[in-house]
Each structure stands twice: as structure tokens, then as C-alpha cells.
Structure 1
Amino acid sequence: MTRGKFLAIAGSSIIIGGVTYYQRSDKNNFVRADTKQKETTKTPLQPDEREILFLASLAPSGHNTQPWFVKYIEPYHWIIGNDKSRWLPGVDPAQRETILSIGAFLQNLEYAAGNLGYNCQFDITATTNQDENIIDVKLTKATKIITYDIEQIKHRRTVRSNYLSDVIKKEDSSYLINEETDFIHYIPNTSKEHQWLNEQTIEANRIQAYRDAAQSELANWIRFSSKDAAEHLDGLTLAGMEIEGIPGWYLRNFYGKENVMKKSFREQSIDKVVKQVSQSAGWLLITSKDNSVATLLETGKQMQRLFLKIRERNIAIHPMTQIIEEASTNQLLNNSVGINEPVQFILRTGYLKNYPEPVTLRRSVEQFIRT
């Protein structure tokens, strides 16, 4: 056999092998629409209870850890709990963000319950962010139904890319902030504070990317393959990180936790942040009067109320909290943006031309209910 014939046959074999591998490989991102919300275990939940709790679970959380559980006491009486196995000690050692996420869960719960004709009675039982039992919830039939557009909960999405640079219109910012002007602050992209937030977000991400405890934690919550995504129904999927096409195919089939710790992955993550902060209408900061459990829960509810308003105005928000999470940048934050109160959320914001459907995964209610 001549060398030319050998190379031709070998090349054909590689192509055929590559095509065969592609046909057998993980070709598509696993997204929320692919999940089937069905009972995996028997629970005492009534249909309304299950619907309310599932809608509550569509709240956002850091790394999409979904750090809540629900302890079933009796029909329409539950305790919302703090799932220690879903904490993020690398970036949230005091569980501040965990409590904020549970607050967002509570806002969804309140809207969903009201829409089905129930009043919510909340009794906070936690005194620290580390307490397991956070809040006692009782639902009672309401004499007057307070309707809420549940589609806003179902279609809420964190969008990370393709922001326009148009400053948020006055009528839109007034609608979003409404009666919460003491706690929600819009910093437009025309201000010096905006530039500082851009620069320090990049710096905080650089620090965090090279802090192994934080990077290892991130690696544990990335679901590269569709198999892992379908198994866990949580964490950061490639679809949620907006990695599609050939790059997504490559990562799904050839990447794992060990790759996240490599310099190339860290640098690519920083480069992506640089690109993201260059696209925005500015930042929305949410502050609170203090850092008590009750206040953090209420601040999480405020954030969720804001998040549920934005889609109808074609506005996106992307939580980027690294400045708060890193001590060296956090200590400069208040003076640099001219705010005295504790900053609990830093949200990049901007208009979108097209609003995509939600893709982040959610566990079924049966996976976070405890009886």
C-alpha cells in the first residue's frame, strides 16, 4: 500500500469515526422544557399545595443551588427550611445569599398562593442565617382572591448576553422601582459609579477565579453533560450559561470538573465577564436597612418583585455579586457608589431585542419536600 493510499484510508476512518461519535454523543443542551414534572414519590400534598410550592421553587439562587426544603406539618402548613447541603461556603460563608434566595422563594410562594385564593401567614423562626428552620407558613382560604399573572413567574429568566446600551427610560425605571426608591438604586452607564462597578466587577471575578475554594465550588455546581443536568435538576447548565452550538457540544462531551480548575478556563471566564460588563444600561443596586434574617428575607422578596416585572419591559437583569463576595472590593463599595446602607444585590441591567425562554433547571417538589 502506498503512503498516499494509507493516508486517504486513515483520513476516511477518522471522519467516519468522528461522525459515528457525534451521532452517539451529547448533542443538545438539556433545558427546563425537557424536564417532566411528575411525582417521583408519594407525598401528602394537595394539588394546590404542589402547584404553589413548584412555582415558589422557580426563584433564583446562587449557582442555582435551590437552597430550600419544605417540611410538611399538615395540609397548608409548612416550615420553609435552609438546606445546608446546598450552601456555598466558598463565596457565601455567612449564608447571606442563601437567606436572600429563600426570600425570593417566599415572594413566589405568596404570589402563587394568592392567585389560588389563599392568604399566607408567615412566622419567622430563625435568628441566624445558619438556622435550619427559617419560617413557618400557614395558608388559609381568602375571602377575596388577589390575582397575579403566574406566567411572570414561569417565564422569569436570568439573561447574561446581548444587552443594549440604551439608558433605562425614566418611565421604565419608575415602574420597576415604584415605591421602593429607598432600597433600589439605578446607576446609569453615563455615571462614574457605573465605570467603577464595571472595573471592580472584573477585578472581583479575577480574584474569585484564582481563589481555589471558590473555583472548586463552582466546578461542583456546573452540569456539563445533559446526563448530569437531568440527574441533578439544579446547578449551572451550559444552556443557563448561554453556551450553545459547537462550543456547547464540545464542553458537554469533553469537559468535567477538573477542567474548571485549569488556567485556561479561569481566564476564559474572566474574558467573558469583561465582555458582559461592556454591554449594559447600567446597574441596579438593592440595599437593606440591616443584615438581620427578617430583613434579608424581605430584601430577597424585593429583588424577586423587581425580577418579575422586567420581562414585560424587555429589560434583563444579571446578578453579579462578586464585589460583595470578595473582601478587598466589598470594603470599597459603599463609598465608591455613594450609598450608606448595606448593598445586598448588584444587578447588571439593560434592554434586550429578543427575550429568550427560561432554561435553568428545577427539582420537582417531591425532591425538596420533607414529611
Structure 2
Amino acid sequence: MSLSRRKTLALLGGGAIVAATTTVGYDITRLPQTAGLPWTQAGQYDDPRMRALSWAILAPNPHNRQPWMVDLSQPDTAVLYVDPDRLLPHTDPFNRQITIGLGCFLEVLRMAALQDGLDVDFDLFPDGSDPDALDTRPVAICRFAQSVAAPDPLFAHVPNRRSLKEPFDITRAVPDAALASIFSAAIHGSVTSTTNAQVDVDEMRILSREALRIEIETPRTYKESVDLFRIGRYEVDADPDGIAFTGPMFEGLSRAGMFNREIALDTSSTAYQQGLMAVYANTDTAMGYVWQVTPTNTREDQIRAGQDWVRINLAATALGIATQPLSQALQEYHEMQGSYADIHRRLAPEGGTVQMWARLGYGPQTPASPRWPLEEKIVG
């Protein structure tokens, strides 16, 4: 689940904000000091593999878990593994979404290497894979070699790419021409579709709202998100992953004892009910949609869906269009079965697996998500 940072204030009661932010002084205005450094340090390494990897770690991934580990012990090679401590067992029980995030990583790696005149050949799951869970076997052996291929123009938009978790501007339609550009960005085999038709938008807003409600009202799946809250700049710098809440309001509320994980989990309060309505503002302001379907649901399918998803995200970024994945209805746990069936009937009537579904629109600029330093992800 992705809770809008702004909307989460409703969980706490708006009247508390001014009091909280006026009691702790200048320090609350400061932002995280180290969590954003990987965005400014990308590309600043001597080893071309490290240069490419420094861009790859900026790829989108579920709940910003950054589940990648890389072994560089072999020359001209990077071996990608998943970090088993960074899975989402409740909302992503079969690790499908995590695998898609690894596909995003590989695609940004490929594009970054091309900037240096290098091609990357991916040997996916060379030792096999388990459809029920990722394990310690390699996800991909990445072999670097000289290339004469032209750089990928989408790479230029990696620094500005976001997954926007704010309401969109309902006065601005997503043009047909923009949908066509977004559609054409997918090149790795997932069947991509888009819509901005009002009848589709109205129906999909309802579907996404219901799935969001289920995830929030299912205790274990909601807690999985809340456990990943990073509240205030000290927490974000210490653990630059998960769901970050920074800025003066959150600093003030946290220090005044008005916002913490325990408060966020109190679903019996009136403030919580108000907050539940507030987070619907994201789903209710979608102005278009894009989705990807694969005929089968192998690990290789999931990787390629991730490669295409980050390209879609970058193509939208190039046009000034915001995207936000709507992962809830695609999740494979018991309480979500009805929504999962509904969205598959709607988006994949001829069969297959809906790998990604996202809303499109125009929204505000937001800071980049925190990242662990690349050196923390190198294991050999």
C-alpha cells in the first residue's frame, strides 16, 4: 500500500498540526541528510559496472524495499540476488511484485550501461526458480560487453522518475497522444493497454478504491505497511527504505508524540476513519490508466513486466505525466480474492496475469524516494 504523506495527516487530526510544529523550533525544517545522496552520486564511479549499478538502484520497487544484492567478484559480470530480508510476505506472498521490482532494476542497469557503450546480457534464473517464493539462487547473471547500440533516450529521465502518491489534477485530461507514447515504451513483451475514456476511468476508480479499502482494513497487510513507516529525518537517514514521512509537519507531530506507528495502527479512532476517506483522494483522481498483462506468470514474465514498467514510468515522466501503481487489486492473498478476480475480468478478459496497473494524471513535483548507498548492496 502507498499512503499519501499529505493525506496521512488526517489520521492525526488537523488541529494538532500547528501546535506540534510550533513547539520544536528550527530543527523540524531540516530534511534527511544522507538518504538522498545516491540520487546525486549516480554515475560517479570508475568501474563501469558500478556506474550502471548506481543508476539501477534508483529504479522503482515495491514499498521502496530495494531488495537487490549484487556480487561483483567475477570480471565484467554482476550477479543479482534478492535480499530475503526485504520481501513483503503479507501483501506479496509469492514475491511477484518484488520480482517485478528486480526487473525494473535490470532495465535501468541496461540503459545506464548503454550510456558507456556497453551491452548487458541477462541470464535470468540460471539455476532455476520457485514460482511460490524467491530464494537464494541468482536472479540474473549480468554480463557486460562492448556495444555499438545507441543510448536509450528514456535514460535521461531516470533522475526525475517518481511514483506519485498525491491527488492528481482533475481539470487536466491525459491526451490520446500521450497514451500512445506511453504504450509504445514497452518493448519486452508484456501486453500493454491504456485508457482515458471516462466510462473506464469511473469504473476503475471504484475498483481501485475497493482494493485499497481491503488492504487497509486487513490488519496484517496494513501493519506490513505501517511497520515500514520511516517517520522524520533521523529514521529516514538511518533506514533509507520503506515509506518516508519527512518535512516540518511530520517532524513536529512525531516529536510531540502525535504521530508514530502505534497511532497509525489505531483503527478504532475517528481520526483513522477520516484518514481512510482521505487516502481515497488518490484513487478518486485518476485521469487515465495503463496496465500490463502477460499470458503466463513465470518469473521471467515478471522480470520482463518490470523492465517494461520502468520504461512506461520513464515515458510518462518525459511527458510530464505522473504515474502511481495500483498494486492492491493485483495482490494474491485471501481477502483480496474478489478484487483480484474483478480486475482480471476487466483488464485480462481473455486470460493471463495482470502484472501492473497504474493511474495516470498530472500532479505536484515531489522529492525522490530515499535510497541505501550502492556500497550497502554489494556482497562480493
Alignment match, 1:346 = 357
Q: 1:187-336 maps to which residues of 2 (within 5 A)?
A: 187-191=195-199, 193-239=200-246, 245-246=248-249, 249-251=252-254, 254=257, 255-263=259-267, 264=269, 266-325=272-331, 326-336=336-346
Alignment match, 1:360 = 369
CA RMSD of aligned residues (A): 2.8
**Cα separation, partners in 2 of 1:216 and 1:187, compared to 1, 3 Å:** same
Question: Is residue 2:171 matched to residue 1:163?
Answer: no
Over residues 84-130 of structure 1, what are the superposed CA-to-partner deviations in whole Å (9 max), with x where a residue is unaligned? 10000110000000100000000100000011111111101242241
SS of corresponding position for 2:73: strand
**2-side partners of 1:249 and 1:318: how far apart?**
28
**Cα separation, partners in 2 of 1:19 and 1:32, compared to 1, 3 Å:** closer
How does the TM-score come out when normalised to structure 1? 0.83
Offset, 1:197? 2.1
Moved more, 299-308 or 261-270: 261-270
- The one-letter code matched in structure 2 to 1:138 is R
**Cα separation, partners in 2 of 1:170 and 1:196, compared to 1, 3 Å:** closer
SS of corresponding position for 2:372: coil
**1-side partners of 2:315 and 2:104: how far apart?**
14
**2-side partners of 1:31 and 1:359: how far apart?**
13
**Cα separation, partners in 2 of 1:104 and 1:22, compared to 1, 3 Å:** same
**2-side partners of 1:275 and 1:87: how far apart?**
28
SS of corresponding position for 2:24: helix
Q: Structure 1, unaligned stretches of length 5 or more?
A: 1-16, 40-44
Moved more, 158-167 or 301-310: 158-167
**2-side partners of 1:47 and 1:257: how far apart?**
41
**Cα separation, partners in 2 of 1:46 and 1:321, compared to 1, 3 Å:** same
2:151 pairs with 146, 150, 154, which one?
A: 146
Alignment match, 1:4 = none
Alignment match, 2:4 = none
**1-side partners of 2:229 and 2:366: how far apart?**
20
- The one-letter code matched in structure 2 to 1:214 is T
Alignment match, 1:8 = none
**2-side partners of 1:115 and 1:73: how far apart?**
23
Q: Which has the higher contact order (CA 8 A, sep 6+)?
A: 2
SS of corresponding position for 1:74: coil
- 8 Å Cα contact 1:225-1:253 kept in structure 2: no
Give the paired residue count.
343
Alignment match, 1:3 = none
- The one-letter code matched in structure 2 to 1:228 is E
- 8 Å Cα contact 1:316-1:350 kept in structure 2: yes
2:28 pairs with 26, 29, 32, which one?
A: 26
**1-side partners of 2:39 and 2:250: how far apart?**
29
Alignment match, 2:8 = none
